[in-house]
Structure 1
Amino acid sequence: MFSNLIISYPWWTVIPVLFAGLIYAGLLYYRNKSNKIGFGWIAVLFTLRFLAVSLLAFLLLSPFIRNKKKIIEKPIVILGFDNSMSMTMGKDTTFSYPDFLLNLDKISTELSKKYNLDKWAFAENATLDIAPDFTGEVSDYTQMLRQVNENYKGANVGALVVFGDGIYNRGIDPLYAATEIKFPIYTLALGDTSVNRDLKINDVRFNSLVYLGDQFPIEINVNAFGLKNENATLKIFAFGKEVGRKSIQIGNNYFNKSFQFNLKAERQGSQRFRISIETNAEEVSKENNQRSIFIEVLNNRKKVLILAHAPHPDLGALKESIEQSKNYIAEIQYANKLKAKISDYDLVILHQLPSKTYPINALLTNLEKQEIPVLFVLGKQSSISSFNKNFGGLSIQSTIGKIEEARANLNPSFSLFTFSPEHKQQLENFPPLKVPLGNYKVSQGASVFAFQEINRISTDFPLIAFTNNSGRRTGVITGEGLWLWRIHNYLTEGNTAAFHAFIDKIVQLLMARKDKRHFRVITKGTYPSYQNVVVSAELYNQSYEPVNEVDVNLKLTNEEGEQFNYAFSAYDKSYQLDLKHLEEGVYRYQAQTKMGSKNYSAKGEFIVSSQSLESRNLQANHRMLYRLADEHDGKMLYPDEIKTLPALLSERGDLKSRVYYEEHFSALHSLPAILLIILGLLSLEWFLRKYFGSY
């Protein structure tokens, strides 16, 4: 008993507590002449007062009672249900949705007598305690297996039972996803493994970005099973009409062939291309005979002017690398024959300009006035003093005409854009650039991408740096010889990917403009059809402070020209609008609001894409389910064997309840019994003294 009693002080402090009770009781009853009762009753009263006072004094030591509670935790059996549409799309005559749910309820009732049951349904997401309705548009075993593994770490899990057809179209191979799971896995194999008569669009390859008026290819891979000697027609619809058609003769029962269409981009904006394949033959499913793809048709490319002091191998390397991206067109011109209209360009690269021969002062002023970003590439012909005046992030005190060689030593703290570790390593092994010899001073607002490494000694002199002046970005590569970087990249790697990524990142960074709009609508661009389409909006006052007190309305137009009106709701410091689930297609929107006397509007478009992943493959993958169970000390069952599951689990010797004890500590003064005891002792003493007339 006393082992469960704990006090906050050493146990010897109980002795003063007892002395306090003795002294108090002794002063009250020892040789007290007012006591007219016998010695025996005085001893009783003495004992009552001694116990009451001692107990009160003992409470000052903050005593606690330790209680142990025995807890029996039954093993957890996790039931995971594939909730995707493929479960009911096939022609499996052994699977009936109502019968399945009925048998499942019976099995669940029986299992719950010995185990704690947790039911998960998985498709796009894995969700606990949701009844399967087989409406999910993807099958993601990976997410379910990982979530189960994370949520039940340290728990008394007896087994995981997976109900599914084994078809997965998102995530990694379930066999790899389950490698960290330590408890047994049983699988119930549903679906049809036979190869049914089916014609389907297996894959579509295309460029998601093309330019208005360009010819572009679409490659369509078609599969047909059990349809030998049947005919089919492959069609493409876009721009409100049929734009391609091909007749197909299916030559065997396992037909697989790709067909290419060359189409013309006839209309600007996001365009939907509907692809269909038709046949008169009977199929297991017609849903995989349709596919929609979305292609962004742009009207113009960004233009880059490479303006040079004189011909140089760097110019060709820059132009070829920039034009590897279809988003850009690069043009080379020279300072002595400049014919370009500067306002036509989105970025200007000045190679060894300004120079003493061509100071280009008027051009530099014009570039700053029009806020056109500039990339300086320094070299032997560069006028360093003029560069210092026009690039606010760096000052070079240079010995005229003197150069030295410097390799790139990348700055790990640089954050304006990301660069892959593989490309970083390659960049640091590129040949040295020829840089001006001198003292480099970097201003506080500059960001250095790479420092100079001279004779294998790292310095704090920048090799590549960027600065931002009132929203206009400028950059500098302080040395010439970029063409050697490109050649070295190809000779060592067999490609120029690292050099191209380096130039592309710089061009993207410099062209990125600060968004100065007071009103903007933000979308994801593309939404899967199984997700809610959530759109947000931001409104700023003249001081660019966020505002959300005024009404913001949105007009949405679908591909058929139907219009729908919505109102945004204030959310935090912005606005948000949940459009729920929308049908597949291209949607164009126009949002409007009024703040004070000014009207603001924003327009754009977004895509809702139905991937139809579930209809692409309807052949159940029982082999995967068998291996998943076999590798985790379980067993694969078929629907008619589901009733044996409780017995299989019972036969295992490792599904045992876990017994443990929980300790609870209760302060002694908080227990009603202690207060009643003290009150009882004092009351009994008072009654006896009153009875014998001691008061």
Structure 2
Amino acid sequence: MGLISGYSLWLIVLCIALGAAYAAVLYTGKKSNKWRPGIRSVLFILRFIVVSLLAFFLLEPLIRLNVKITNNPVLIVASDNSKSMTASADSDFVKNKLPEIVDQWLNGLQDELEIARYHFSDSLLAGPNADYSGNLTDIGNVFNEIRSRYINKNVAGIVLISDGIYNTGSNPLTAAEQIQTPVFTVAVGDTSTHTDAAITSLTGNRDVIYNNYFPVEFSVTAQQATGQSIQVKVTHNDKEIYNHNSDIQGNQFSRVFNIRGFADKKGLNKIVVSVSVLIGEKNTANNTRVFYFNVADDVKKVLIVASAPHPDIRAIRTSLESNLNYSVKAVTGEANAGDITDYDLLILHQIPAASTRNSALIEKAKAARIPVWMITGANTNYASLNALNAGVTVRVRSAAPNEVLGVLNENFSLFSVPQQEADFVKAMPPLSAAFGDYSISAGTDVLIYQRIGNVISSQPLLCMSQVEGQRWAFLLGEGVWRWKIYDFQRNNSHELFDSFMSRIAQFLCQNSDRSRFRVIYEPTHSETEAITFNAELFNQNFELVNSEPIDLILRDSTGKNYACSFLPDGSGYSLNCGRMRPGEYSFTAQVKSKQYPYTQSGRITVDSYNPELASTRADFNVLRLIAQQTGGIMVSPEKLNDISVFLEKNNLIQSTYYRENKYIDLLEWKWILFIILALVSAEWVIRKREGYY
């Protein structure tokens, strides 16, 4: 404990002297003889104390206390808020009884623990709110978020209340490996097997060429339906193309179907696969699956030219070839490129090469205004690249490359990147980039910034520009083949990598579209995601402008209209319509300007398939493994006190202590002001009684 002030404490002596001087003027000398000696001394002391205290408080004194702070450990409680929690037979218990049990248990722990409550579906949100409306479950994200939010915090444990069903994100067992505290899983739901038929998977090509056959693959399962028969029906644009009956033998029936359809209609097409409802079946939400795909006859031609063989070439080529909208050719060496004027996109891997000063191939592309996607590496001639004046300049400072990670620019506005792809970009392995100084021109938009460790730099890793009507993309690092492999290791497919590569190619290829108004959108959406649009408006010189208002009307199948307006975003426009009900929608976008009298129409669909209802059987095995892996236990809701016993037995309720200085302004002590007021009042009363007031 100590006394401090913003002024020198030696001034306290002056305060005392001031009080003494003031009292002496009033109560010493000849004029003070009128007071009786005892009364005069009392009045002197009273005035001395009051004036000294008032002067002292002008120094703004503070009391410094060194106090001991106790931090109770945190118990984190995360409750599953997805639809599958109430889709089983014990839904009444989950909705009504479970919250009461949890609240009562936590109330008994509040004296020893700090309780932090969350709810989750596809994201982790604060609070115990439970309306069980989540359309996806990402348990892995729960652990990732908790790990980042409570790093270096005193956490006693994590309580996960869930049915164990997850349908998006990473494997929760993998994510739980990074948790340094026990996880206590509370198993909720029904693990018994009921009679059920389901379409468990439905896949096909998202893009199909007009007047060609296309494949459709789907899986059908049936449980606890021995002796029954199941009918499988497939329709293409409401026209039946497949019908099959199967007799179910045994309690577990599973079959994969491979069929073909014929693309005889351009635009958005719909495949519906359905299975008949079994006797005694309760969950019929998984009996139908819908798949949408686009049919077009406008195939974009892509030429990949590499300075030397490289694994990146195959990764990019196979990725684009998975999208039937692209016809891809790859060659090594500029001399083998041939005539490039028929191509819609030119991908150059480490061209211009270090062995050449200028690239005739790039000059031809500039003359024909063919979009160019440049990928740099150790063999790139950066001096020649800088001389292109295409939006990016790289000043190399060392021959040794940098291993750089990437992070998506949240303010990128040229096109939309789904959150799943954004997370993928952040998690991807590093690329080998030149060590040096990067600069971009005013019209260049950065999609991915370089990240070294946890430090996000302002230097671009992937960016786009438009110069004199020609679009450019720059991937400033080599090694994207690692991204493709990582996608397969993490997700057991190349879907995210392929989608990301196609998204960039699609944006660049739009440069061959000479229309002055373009609306960029995804034709299919899940009911769990927001519907977004991007738009571009060009003036007569084919320069982007975004000063004109643009409206969009969405119309559902019943004829109901939803009016929206684009907002300027970067050099273009963007629009987020939010989530929409499942169904088919048409749209019309119109520029509201006499100078630009343009409109564009199209169709989108919102898929009604809900992964939460595909399987409602609780997976307690996942919960048990999470608990075992992290040193916790799995309990039922009725045995929550077992967690309390475990915490006590293993000494996990350990408070932490530390000391810190606490400062108190003396003027906040109201009783001091009352003392001063009492002293002044006493002096006044004495003087009044003595007849000198």
TM-score grouping bracket, smaller chain normalisation:
0.5 to 0.7
Q: What is residue 564 of structure 1 aligned with on the other side?
A: 560
Map 1:654-665; keep pairs closer than 5 Å: 654-655=652-653, 664-665=662-663
Could you tell me how far apart the structure 2 residues matched to 1:368 and 1:14 are?
Answer: 81
Q: What is residue 104 of structure 1 aligned with on the other side?
A: 99
Deviation sequence 1:301-341 (CA, Å, 0-9, x none): 1246899xxxx999xx9999969734444799xxxxxx999
Q: Give the counterpart letter for 1:222 in structure 2.
A: V
Deviation at residue 137 of structure 1 after TM alignment: 2.1
1:170 to 168, 171, 191: 168
Find the residue that maps to 1:220 and give its secondary structure. strand
Deviation sequence 1:30-77 (CA, Å, 0-9, x none): 333453223322222221222122212222332113568898877655
Q: Label 1:177 to 1:298 Cα distance change in 2 as closer, same or farther (>3 A).
A: same
Q: What is residue 402 of structure 1 aligned with on the other side?
A: none
Q: What is residue 80 of structure 1 aligned with on the other side?
A: 78
Q: What is residue 278 of structure 1 aligned with on the other side?
A: 276
Q: What is residue 236 of structure 1 aligned with on the other side?
A: 234
Normalized against structure 2, the TM-score is what?
0.67
Map 1:23-38; keep pairs closer than 5 Å: 23-38=21-36
Deviation at residue 589 of structure 1 after TM alignment: 0.9
Could you tell me how far apart the structure 2 residues matched to 1:156 and 1:411 are?
Answer: 37
Find the residue that maps to 1:48 and give its secondary structure. helix
Q: What is residue 590 of structure 1 aligned with on the other side?
A: 588
Q: Give the counterpart letter for 1:102 in structure 2.
A: K
Q: What is residue 355 of structure 2 aligned with on the other side?
A: none
Find the residue that maps to 2:33 and give its secondary structure. coil
Q: Give the counterpart letter for 1:627 in structure 2.
A: L
**Maintained 8 Å contact 2:86/2:95:** no
Q: What is residue 411 of structure 2 aligned with on the other side?
A: none
Q: What is residue 194 of structure 1 aligned with on the other side?
A: 192
Q: Label 1:105 to 1:540 Cα distance change in 2 as closer, same or farther (>3 A).
A: farther
Could you tell me how far apart the structure 2 residues matched to 1:164 and 1:276 are?
Answer: 30
**Maintained 8 Å contact 1:76/1:157:** yes
Q: Give the counterpart letter for 2:562 in structure 1.
A: Y
Find the residue that maps to 2:40 and give its secondary structure. helix
Q: What is residue 608 of structure 1 aligned with on the other side?
A: 606
Find the residue that maps to 2:169 and give its secondary structure. coil
Gaps of 5+ in 2: 331-337, 352-359, 375-383, 391-398, 409-424, 435-439, 445-462, 475-480, 482-493
Deviation at residue 265 of structure 1 after TM alignment: 1.5
Could you tell me how far apart the structure 1 residues matched to 2:373 and 2:671 are?
Answer: 85
Could you tell me how far apart the structure 2 residues matched to 1:152 and 1:374 are?
Answer: 45
Q: Give the counterpart letter for 1:21 in structure 2.
A: G
Rg (Cα) greater in structure: 1
The sequence identity of aligned pairs, in percent, is 29
Find the residue that maps to 1:568 and give its secondary structure. strand
**Maintained 8 Å contact 2:267/2:296:** yes
Find the residue that maps to 1:513 and give its secondary structure. helix
Deviation at residue 529 of structure 1 after TM alignment: 0.6
1:629 to 621, 627, 630: 627
Could you tell me how far apart the structure 2 residues matched to 1:420 and 1:54 are?
Answer: 67
Could you tell me how far apart the structure 2 residues matched to 1:666 and 1:466 are?
Answer: 57
Deviation sequence 1:547-572 (CA, Å, 0-9, x none): 47x5x5433344x5x43323225757
Could you tell me how far apart the structure 1 residues matched to 2:601 and 2:11 are?
Answer: 80
Find the residue that maps to 1:296 and give its secondary structure. strand
Could you tell me how far apart the structure 1 residues matched to 2:347 and 2:70 are?
Answer: 74
Could you tell me how far apart the structure 1 residues matched to 2:329 and 2:183 are?
Answer: 62
Normalized against structure 1, the TM-score is what?
0.67
**Maintained 8 Å contact 1:204/1:219:** yes
Root mean square deviation of aligned Cα: 5.6
Q: What is residue 118 of structure 2 aligned with on the other side?
A: 120
Deviation sequence 1:116-162 (CA, Å, 0-9, x none): 65543322333333543333222222233333444455666555433
Q: What is residue 456 of structure 1 aligned with on the other side?
A: none
**Maintained 8 Å contact 1:166/1:620:** yes
Q: Label 1:240 to 1:474 Cα distance change in 2 as closer, same or farther (>3 A).
A: same
Q: What is residue 620 of structure 1 aligned with on the other side?
A: 618
Map 1:426-441; keep pairs closer than 5 Å: none
Q: Give the counterpart letter for 1:566 in structure 2.
A: Y
Could you tell me how far apart the structure 2 residues matched to 1:661 and 1:420 are?
Answer: 40
**Maintained 8 Å contact 1:199/1:289:** yes
Q: Give the counterpart letter for 1:104 in structure 2.
A: P
Deviation sequence 1:179-218 (CA, Å, 0-9, x none): 4445543333222323333332222332222211122222
**Maintained 8 Å contact 1:410/1:424:** no
Q: Label 1:423 to 1:174 Cα distance change in 2 as closer, same or farther (>3 A).
A: closer
- Are positions 1:89 and 2:90 aligned together? no
Q: Give the counterpart letter for 1:105 in structure 2.
A: E
Could you tell me how far apart the structure 2 residues matched to 1:604 and 1:274 are?
Answer: 21
**Maintained 8 Å contact 1:123/1:138:** yes
Deviation at residue 528 of structure 1 after TM alignment: 2.1
Map 1:461-500; keep pairs closer than 5 Å: 469-472=467-470
Q: Label 1:365 to 1:49 Cα distance change in 2 as closer, same or farther (>3 A).
A: closer
Find the residue that maps to 1:599 and give its secondary structure. coil
Could you tell me how far apart the structure 2 residues matched to 1:608 and 1:18 are?
Answer: 82
Could you tell me how far apart the structure 2 residues matched to 1:685 and 1:260 are?
Answer: 104
Find the residue that maps to 2:125 and give its secondary structure. strand
**Maintained 8 Å contact 1:629/1:635:** yes
Could you tell me how far apart the structure 1 residues matched to 2:646 and 2:96 are?
Answer: 20
Q: Label 1:690 to 1:555 Cα distance change in 2 as closer, same or farther (>3 A).
A: closer
Q: Label 1:412 to 1:298 Cα distance change in 2 as closer, same or farther (>3 A).
A: farther
Map 1:289-328; keep pairs closer than 5 Å: 289-303=287-301, 325=321, 326-328=324-326
1:638 to 636, 639, 662: 636
- Are positions 1:223 and 2:221 aligned together? yes
Q: What is residue 285 of structure 2 aligned with on the other side?
A: 287
Could you tell me how far apart the structure 2 residues matched to 1:178 and 1:683 are?
Answer: 70
Find the residue that maps to 1:266 and give its secondary structure. coil
Could you tell me how far apart the structure 1 residues matched to 2:442 and 2:591 are?
Answer: 36
Deviation at residue 259 of structure 1 after TM alignment: 1.8
Q: Label 1:99 to 1:278 Cα distance change in 2 as closer, same or farther (>3 A).
A: closer
Q: Give the counterpart letter for 2:589 in structure 1.
A: A
Could you tell me how far apart the structure 2 residues matched to 1:414 and 1:129 are?
Answer: 34
Q: Give the counterpart letter for 1:112 in structure 2.
A: N
Find the residue that maps to 1:161 and give its secondary structure. strand
- Are positions 1:256 and 2:251 aligned together? no
Could you tell me how far apart the structure 1 residues matched to 2:428 and 2:101 are?
Answer: 55
Q: Label 1:318 to 1:623 Cα distance change in 2 as closer, same or farther (>3 A).
A: closer
Q: What is residue 683 of structure 2 aligned with on the other side?
A: 685
Deviation sequence 1:578-635 (CA, Å, 0-9, x none): 6554343443311224224653323233332344322333332212222333444543
Could you tell me how far apart the structure 2 residues matched to 1:626 and 1:319 are?
Answer: 42
Q: What is residue 449 of structure 2 aligned with on the other side?
A: none
**Maintained 8 Å contact 1:75/1:657:** yes
Find the residue that maps to 2:597 and give its secondary structure. strand
Q: Give the counterpart letter for 2:230 in structure 1.
A: A
Could you tell me how far apart the structure 2 residues matched to 1:292 and 1:146 are?
Answer: 32
Q: Give the counterpart letter for 1:628 in structure 2.
A: I
Q: Label 1:506 to 1:571 Cα distance change in 2 as closer, same or farther (>3 A).
A: closer
Could you tell me how far apart the structure 1 residues matched to 2:69 and 2:213 are?
Answer: 72
Could you tell me how far apart the structure 2 residues matched to 1:129 and 1:423 are?
Answer: 37
Deviation at residue 424 of structure 1 after TM alignment: 6.1
Deviates more, 1:12-21 or 1:41-50: 12-21
